[in-house]
Amino acid sequence: MEDPGNTVITNYSVVVEFILLGFADLPNYQGFLFSIFLLIYMSILVGNGLIIVITKMDATLQTPMYFFLRHFSFLEMCYTSVTLPRIFKSLLTQKRNISFLACAVQLCFFLIWGGTECFLLAVMAYDRYMAICNPLNYPLIMNQKICVRLVVGSWISAIPIPIGQTYQIFSLPFCGSNQLDHVFCDVPPLLSLACGDITVNEFYSYAGAFLSAIVPFLMILVSYIKIIATIQKLPSAIGRKKAFSTCSSHLIVVSLFFGSGIISYFLPNSIKTAGIDKALSLIYSTVTPMFNPLIYTLRNKDVITALKKFLPK
């Protein structure tokens, strides 16, 4: 519509809530899905909770590697608690609406925990690099004070970018459909509902994802290139195997988390479907945290020994 001054006026409907479609296309499996996700959530809480308790109580696990693992496990519990309770509500009550503010809060905390996880995984890679490539100075460099600073730095570094990303996204005008074909509020599906020219907002969102995810991933990659080069120089095959075994669990977690996350965020929309997007988001937000305790225990003799001492009590 044009006013007398020939100024074009565009009317946008004010979005006060979104509809998270989630698994609405599977109406006959809501109860089954609820049971599966509840089992996954309980596994995450119990598994990561056990790691926290064991690495805190067992005297043989008072090393930087297990200090970082304890904080990583706590972070996993926070990370999944942002999304799974909302999924439970949708599956149990069939009420899929989420307010504009609640969606913004969920996205912000999801990005903060996710960014912290990226930085903490980079810190854990650095710890393995120091232990293998600089073993003589490792106890001196990776002391308690430095470890605490690295963990606190991981948390603090992950806060500003998600706040800016969330502000950028929720400053956009939303018009037309308010249905998010996703299981929680995430960047790609929210951007798909925005109106007008969102080029700048997309740039800031993906720049934020680059800084929060790709930069830590590159740091991990550099650390492991140097670790592998050092391991190959070890004269003993047993020594090479032992050195690599201390890194294998971390490598598996990094591959699962970063692989699914990077594909989800940076795969072109022309290739990516809603179903693929949901599956990838569930891998890095739910499946990976569920498998982390198993990966770090079944592949770690020290943790298994500590478990055997702890569980009978």
Mean pLDDT of 160-169: 89
DSSP state of 15: P
Burial class (CB in 10 A: 0-12, 13-18, 19+), 11: exposed
Q: Does the model's pTM come out above 0.75?
A: yes
Kindly report, residue by residue over 196-252, the tens digit of the pLDDT: 777 777 788 778 888 888 899 999 999 989 988 888 887 777 767 777 777 777 888
Give the least confident one: 18-27, 166-175, 256-265, 278-287: 256-265
Using the predicted structure, report yes or no on whether residue 148 has a pLDDT greater than 90.
Answer: yes
Local confidence band at 74 (pLDDT 50, 70, 90 cut-offs):
very high
- Give Cα 243 to chain centroid, integer Å: 27
Q: Which residues 6+ apart lie within 8 Å of 120 measured at CB?
A: 68, 71, 72, 75, 151, 154
Mean pLDDT of 62-89: 91
Which range of 60-64, 170-174, 277-281 scores highest in mean pLDDT? It is: 60-64
Local confidence band at 6 (pLDDT 50, 70, 90 cut-offs):
very low
Q: Residues of the chain with pLDDT > 70: what percent?
A: 91
| 165: three-class secondary structure by DSSP | helix
Q: Please identify which residue in the block is written with the tokens 């003993």.
A: 236
Helix %, strand %, coil % of the chain (to 5): 75, 5, 20
- Alpha carbons 86 and 99: distance in angstroms, whole number: 12
- Alpha carbons 142 and 126: distance in angstroms, whole number: 10
- Alpha carbons 151 and 230: distance in angstroms, whole number: 26
Using the predicted structure, report yes or no on whether residue 8 has a pLDDT greater than 50.
Answer: no
Q: Which residues 6+ apart lie within 8 Å of 260 measured at CB?
A: 280, 281, 283, 284, 288
Using the predicted structure, report yes or no on whether residue 276 has a pLDDT greater than 70.
Answer: yes
**Class for domain 17-310, per CATH?**
mainly alpha
Residue 3 pLDDT? 45
Q: Please identify which residue in the block is written with the tokens 């590159």.
A: 218
Mean pLDDT value across the chain: 83
Residue 219 pLDDT? 92
Using the predicted structure, report yes or no on whether residue 307 has a pLDDT greater than 60.
Answer: yes
Local confidence band at 44 (pLDDT 50, 70, 90 cut-offs):
very high
Residue 153 pLDDT? 94
Q: Which residues 6+ apart lie within 8 Å of 95 measured at CB?
A: 89
Closest residue by Cα to residue 45 from 86, 70, 80, 72: 80
Kindly report, residue by residue over 96-146, the tens digit of the pLDDT: 888 889 999 999 999 999 999 999 999 999 999 998 888 888 989 999 999
Segments making up each domain of the chain, as ranges: 17-310
